[in-house]
Structure formats: C-alpha cells, structure tokens
Amino acid sequence: MERPTPPWINQIPEGAFVSYDPTYPTGKYFDRFERDEAAGLKYYFFDPTKHGYPKKKDYPLLIFLHGTSNALVGDLCINYTGAEMYASDEYQKDLGGAYILIPVANEYRDENENVVGFWNDEYIEPVSELIDDFLSKHTLGVGVRFLLGNSSGARFTFTMAKYHPEKFDVLIPVGAFEIPADGILDIFEDLGITLFYAYSKHDEFMSFERVVLPRLEKISSMKNSFVFTPDWTYNGDKGIASINFGIEMGQHCLMNEIQMNIKFDDGTPMDESLPGGLTSWMAEEIARRGKKRRR
C-alpha cells in the first residue's frame, strides 16, 4: 500500500525513517473493559480486582479523555484514547493494579459530515457526575487520581481540573496548546496537583515555538511538574510517526507514545528523561504520595 509522503519529510534527522502504523496491538484487551452509563454519557472501565488483584480501596484511577471523533469508532475508542495498553498485565504490574475509566462524549456527524458534540464546557458537570457514579458503583474507593487527555481531550483535561480540581491529583494533557493562565496553574500548584505536560515540538496543529514554548518556563517552575516535549513522535519500530488521512497528524498523535509507555518495541526508552516509561513515572508519583489522595 502506497503511503503519502509527509510534508515534514525534509526536516527529519539524517538516517531517520517514517513509520505509518503504531506497533502496539489494537483490540487485544477490549474484552477486559466493561461498559456502563451515567449522566447521559456512556463509559468504559477496567477493574483490576477482576483481573487478579485483591479488593482494596487505594488503587490508582486512570481517567482517559479521547480526542475529537474518537467516540464515533465504537470500541476502537478504547485504543484511541491511549488507554488500552494500560489494561495489559505488564502495565498493571508496573502500577500495582489500577482502575481505568474512559468517559465517551455524545459525538455525531451533522448534515455536512462535521463532527458535533465533542468535549466542551457543557460536559463539565456530566463528566464530574460520571466519575462519581463510577466510583460509587464499581470501586471500594481509589487512591491517586490521574486525568489523561488526548488532543481535544487534553484541552478538556485542563478544563475539568479548572472547575473540579478536587477530583484530580495528576494531570497528563497530551497535545494541548490551550494552556491555562498562570493564575490557574498557580491554583493547581497550591492544591498539590502534579502536571505532566506532553507536546511534540513538530505538532502540526499549532506552533510549538510560538504557542507552547513561551509557557514552558512557567510550567517547569511549578513545584510538581514534568515537561515532555520530544522533537518527534515515534512508533515502536523507531520510525517517526506519520498519520496522513487528508491532514497530517503524526506528530500531533503523541498519545501513541504514551500508549507505548514511551518505550520502543525492544524495551529501550524513547526519551532518556523517562528510562522506565510513563508507568514508572506514575508509580513514583503514587509512592511519593504514599498511595493516598492529596488533602
């Protein structure tokens, strides 16, 4: 199958090659996810106590917010959020067991085939209610709460934390150029919220140098923060990712690296700053907090 040449092909490092498909499996762990509804929204969830872990109250909770149009692909939404591999035995072991929750927006296509109903402020309270519903119906309680978002889900990660900071301990927006004002970041810091900010330097949707770079000094100065801004987005085969379906999105889809645990297929790290991958960073964050939620 002939693939289109990405427009940035002349910018990649000498000796690098382009990779057109993620190497992690798709659909392998769908049967580990259950389904429910709350506040007019559907959601998927993974329960570690049904996969070999004892019942207890302090497992971490990983909440994944999908990108625009991902609600339209059925169960593939589980994978597109970046959540699927976190239900694998390997990732679960790294975390000592973890709940996974995937809220699904009520998206649809209008008469012009435009996607309508993606994450916006109207979802703030329904998603908050959905989280409460999941916690009360499907858990005995949880410990550290991680909120991860991809693309428009990353923007909504910041939105949810702005209006409901009490619900989250760690924010991991991936591909969000709409960074909150310094005052909001100060509130996150004062409340003890950790920010893991991830954005590719060659993102096709917004200029890293113009929009993101001026804000990184502020993010880096926060007491609990980690900045992950790789030069290029890679697939597990060590190729630079290209996803060209009318609009090039390879570098914007940094969530592919998150799903790979920021490791190549051979187990080597994609970034020297994260030698054990994201699950190792998460485990360190959980240990730092003593498996307890911030108060």
DSSP 245-286: SSSB-TTT-THHHHHTTTB-TTS-BSSTT-TTHHHHHHHHHH
Q: Count how many Cα atoms sit within 13 Å of the Cα of residue 50 in the half-sphere of its side chain.
A: 12
For residue 239, pLDDT beyond 90: yes
Q: Please tell me the predicted confidence (pLDDT) of residue 247.
A: 86
Lowest mean pLDDT among 196-210, 216-230, 239-253: 239-253
- Going 181 to 69 to 172 to 157, the CA torsion angle's sign is positive
Quick one: average pLDDT of 84-107?
A: 98
203 within 8 A of 253, measured Cβ to Cβ: no
The per-residue pLDDT for range 150-184, each reduced to its tens digit, is 999 999 999 999 999 999 999 999 999 999 999 99
Confidence of residue 49 (pLDDT cuts 50, 70, 90): very high
Tokens standing for residue 190: 């004062």
Say what the pLDDT of residue 152 is: 96
Inform me whether the pLDDT recorded for 136 exceeds 90. yes
Tell me: the pLDDT tens digits for 21-43? 999 999 999 999 999 999 999 99
pLDDT over 90 (residue 4): no
Instruction: Check residue 1 and give its pLDDT.
Output: 63
Output the pTM of the full model.
0.96
The total of other beta-carbon atoms located within 10 Å of residue 214's CB is 10
pLDDT of residue 216: 97
What does the domain layout of the chain look like in residue ranges?
A: 33-288
**In this predicted structure, what is the pLDDT of residue 148?**
98
Q: Helices marked H in 114-190 — which ranges?
A: 124-138, 152-163, 182-190
Write down the CATH number for the domain with range 33-288: 3.40.50.1820
Average pLDDT, integer, range 43-66: 97
pLDDT of 3 over the 90 cut:
no
Asked whether the predicted pLDDT for residue 223 surpasses 60, the reply is yes
- What was the pLDDT predicted at 206? 95
The answer to whether 171 and 158 are in contact (CB under 8 A) is yes
d(CA 101, CA 87): 11
Report the percent of the chain where pLDDT is more than 90. 94
**pLDDT band (50, 70, 90) for residue 73:** very high
Q: Please state, rounded to an integer, the average pLDDT across all residues of the chain.
A: 95
Check: CB of residue 60 under 8 Å from CB of residue 286.
yes
Q: Are 38 and 134 in contact (CB under 8 A)?
A: yes
Cα distance between residue 211 and residue 225, in whole Å: 19
Q: How confident is the model at residue 86 (pLDDT cuts 50, 70, 90)?
A: very high
Q: Which residue has the tokens 């929204």?
A: 41
The per-residue pLDDT for range 241-293, each reduced to its tens digit, is 999 877 899 999 999 999 999 999 999 999 999 999 999 999 999 999 985 55
